[in-house]
Structures are given as C-alpha cells and as structure tokens.
Amino acid sequence: MKEQISAILLEAKEQVADSQNEGEIEAIRVKYLGKKGELTAILKQMGSLAPDERPKMGALVNEAKSELECLIADKKTELKSAEQLKKLAEETIDITMPAKELKVGKLHPLNTVLDDMIDIFQSMGFDVVDGPEVETDHYNFECLNVPADHPARDMQDTFYLADNLLLRTQTSAAQIRTMETRKPPIRVICPGRVFRADEVDATHSPVFHQIEGLVVDKGITMCDLKGVLEQFAHEIYGSDTKVKFRPSFFPFTEPSVEVDVTCSECGGKGCRVCKGSGWIEILGAGMVHPNVLRSCGIDPEEYSGFAFGIGLDRLTTTRYKISDIRLLFENDKRFLDQF
C-alpha cells in the first residue's frame, strides 16, 4: 500500500506539471482527491490492515493528500499569473499611436439660439414657463379674445384633435395659464413648439417654434415694451441696431405693433435681404387687451401689461444665413456638422 501511495503521488505530480489550464487542474484534483478519487479509495481500504499498521498508512495518505493539494494550489496560482501576463501583453497600448477621433455631440442651431434668448430675457428678470402642446380651445383662443366667430381664427389653420382639443397654434396659451395661477407682477417668457396647417416650403412649416413674452404690473406702458425689445435687439444684432414700431392688429393686444430692426446685412442702407427698405420685421407685440386680463381674473383698471411673440425659426435662419427652414428639421448630418 505504501508503494501504491508513492506511485499515485508520482503520477499526480507529473499530471499537475503537464497541466495547461485550470480545467485540467480541477480534473486532476477530482481524480485523486475527490470523493471517488484514488487517494480517497486507499483510505477506504484501511480496514483490511492490521490495527498497528493503520495509523502509519493513514499518516502516509494524509501526507500525500496534503502535498498534492499544495501542488495543485501552486499550479493554479502559476496558471492564473501566466493568464494575466498574457492578457496584459495582448492589451498593450502603443501610446505613440494617434488617438481615435471621438464624435462629440453638438447643440442644434435652434437650441443654441433658444439658450441665448433665454439668457437675454433672464438677465432682464423674466422667468421661463411652459405649457402643454395639446391645448383646449378655451386657452388657445377664447381667453385670448378670439371667440368662435372671430375672423382672426381664419388667420390660423388649426389642427383639431376633437371638438375642444387642438394642437396649440401659439405659446400665448401658456401665458393665459400663467396669469390664472400667478398674481401680478408677472414677467415671463414661454418658449415652445407650435403647430399650424401650413404648406411646407422654404419659409413655412406646420411645426415651428415661438418665444412669447408677457409682463403684467401696475403702470406698464408701450415705453416699457420698447425698452425691453430694444435691449433684446441690441443683444442679438448689436448695439447700433435701431427698433421701429408699425401699427398692426392682433386680437389679444391693443394697440398692436409689428416690430422692425435695422437690417444686419446693410446697416439700414438697403439691400437684397431687406428688399431695399433698410428694415427687417422680427416680431409682433402690443399692450395686453383688457379682455384678456379680465378673462384671467386680473383687473384691467388696476393692471396693464405688454406681450410679444418671436419666431425662433426665423431668428435662427437669419442669424446663420440659412436659406431653407426645412433644413432645421431634416436632421441631415452634413448640415448639422456646420454648427
């Protein structure tokens, strides 16, 4: 039995030395040290020995098992270390190689202009508010002094979803919601998408963006409106820009004006861009109609206000000299990579 133990141990040592991976090592462990292993089987034969020989044979078997366990553990450590070294060698980085170009995302030109606009108006004390894109007739028209039979509704081709549900045609609806939930003084801008059933061409889209502003307080006049819009124009187009008001009509403001600024291309001298006039129209504005204030629970005898609406898409196309508004919505990477 002693010779048998020595032979098993020698054979096991040779197999451990020749093993190439942890799977082979585990198979060797099971073969010799497992429940049905060869050294375990010898222990089961101890009953056939004389009582005085059993302790000696038991000690020999345990010594062999202990030696084999140490060999297996060392071999596992050796194989693991070799595997790590191999992996490190395969993953070696040549620091002299040029780095891969990382594709970094950029802001869409619409978002860039929007962020600039928000910064400008926040610097003048305006809060930013939002409203739902799916609106009711009540907020989109009636509270803005546009009843069902008002001819101004013909000016806006509306996407109706149900009898009293529609896609908002203007972000003014968010102004109404603000006046219903806040008490004056109010100073807010409402940026967002709006929807109208326009034909798609180089200057029109059924989906476009607006930024509308609203100020309501005691003693607000047209002078305050012009001061805010002049500051805005100077921030966007430069400190030499002049602002001109032209009479106009909007059902939710009275009086109403169209706002022009001196052409940024020619400085007011007249060119192809401004069609020789020296002026470019940028937005509509006016004093908030008393009916609008009254519909929101604000006393027009005590408070007054002004409102204005800016087309973000038009502002973006003029700022970046984009000739076709459709480019803003087509997500053409060749176009977007220019910004």
**pLDDT tens for each residue of 255-264:** 999 999 888 7
In a domain, 78, yes or no: yes
- Inform me whether the pLDDT recorded for 149 exceeds 90: no
Q: Round to whole Å and give the CA distance between 33 and 39.
A: 6
What is the structure's pLDDT at 52?
67
In a domain, 104, yes or no: no
**Structural domain for 207, as ranges:** 109-336
- Residue 339: which pLDDT band, with cuts at 50, 70 and 90? confident
- Inform me whether the pLDDT recorded for 53 exceeds 80: no
Residues across the chain: 339
- If you average pLDDT over every residue of the chain, what do you get? 85
Query: Does 72 share its domain with 177?
Result: no
What is the structure's pLDDT at 168?
92
What is the structure's pLDDT at 123?
94
Query: Does 263 share its domain with 119?
Result: yes
What is the structure's pLDDT at 54?
67
37-51, 162-176, 277-291, 298-312 — which is least confidently predicted? 37-51
Instruction: Tell me how many domains the chain contains.
Output: 2
For the beta carbon of residue 129, count every other beta carbon within 10 angstroms: 20
In a domain, 288, yes or no: yes
In a domain, 100, yes or no: no
Give residue-wise pLDDT tens across range 61-97.
777 778 778 887 887 888 888 888 888 888 877 778 8
Q: Which amino acid is at 186?
A: I
CA nearest neighbour of 65 among 34, 105, 100, 102? 34
Query: Does 229 share its domain with 284?
Result: yes
- Inform me whether the pLDDT recorded for 12 exceeds 80: no
In a domain, 103, yes or no: no
Please state the rounded mean pLDDT for residues 315-326.
Answer: 85
- Inform me whether the pLDDT recorded for 155 exceeds 70: no
Query: Does 8 share its domain with 149?
Result: no
Q: Round to whole Å and give the CA distance between 175 and 213.
A: 8
What is the structure's pLDDT at 219?
94
Please state the rounded mean pLDDT for residues 309-326.
Answer: 87
Query: Does 277 share its domain with 152?
Result: yes
Single residue among 22, 57, 90 that ends a domain in this structure: 90
Percentage of the chain with pLDDT > 90?
38
Please state the rounded mean pLDDT for residues 219-233.
Answer: 94
What is the structure's pLDDT at 278?
86
- Inform me whether the pLDDT recorded for 6 exceeds 70: yes
Query: Does 78 share its domain with 21?
Result: yes
What is the structure's pLDDT at 48?
65
Single residue among 90, 118, 143 that ends a domain in this structure: 90
What is the structure's pLDDT at 295?
92
Taking the alpha carbons at both ends of the chain, their separation in whole angstroms is 86
What is the structure's pLDDT at 248?
93
Query: Does 71 share its domain with 132?
Result: no
What is the structure's pLDDT at 246?
93
What is the structure's pLDDT at 62?
72
Query: Does 258 share its domain with 153?
Result: yes
In a domain, 99, yes or no: no
Query: Does 118 share its domain with 61?
Result: no
User: Which range, 64-68, 218-222, 239-243, is most confident?
Assistant: 218-222
- Inform me whether the pLDDT recorded for 117 exceeds 90: yes
Secondary structure element (H or E) that encloses residue 236, with its range: helix 222-237
In a domain, 215, yes or no: yes
- Inform me whether the pLDDT recorded for 30 exceeds 80: no
Query: Does 80 share its domain with 168?
Result: no
Please state the rounded mean pLDDT for residues 302-307.
Answer: 96
Query: Does 192 share its domain with 252?
Result: yes
In a domain, 203, yes or no: yes
CA nearest neighbour of 173 among 162, 184, 188, 185? 188
Single residue among 39, 58, 90 that ends a domain in this structure: 90
Give residue-wise pLDDT tens across range 181-204.
999 999 999 999 999 888 888 878
CA nearest neighbour of 215 among 250, 185, 238? 185
Query: Does 153 share its domain with 40?
Result: no
Give residue-wise pLDDT tens across range 264-297.
777 778 887 678 888 888 899 999 999 999 999 9
Beta carbons of 186 and 220 less than 8 angstroms apart = no
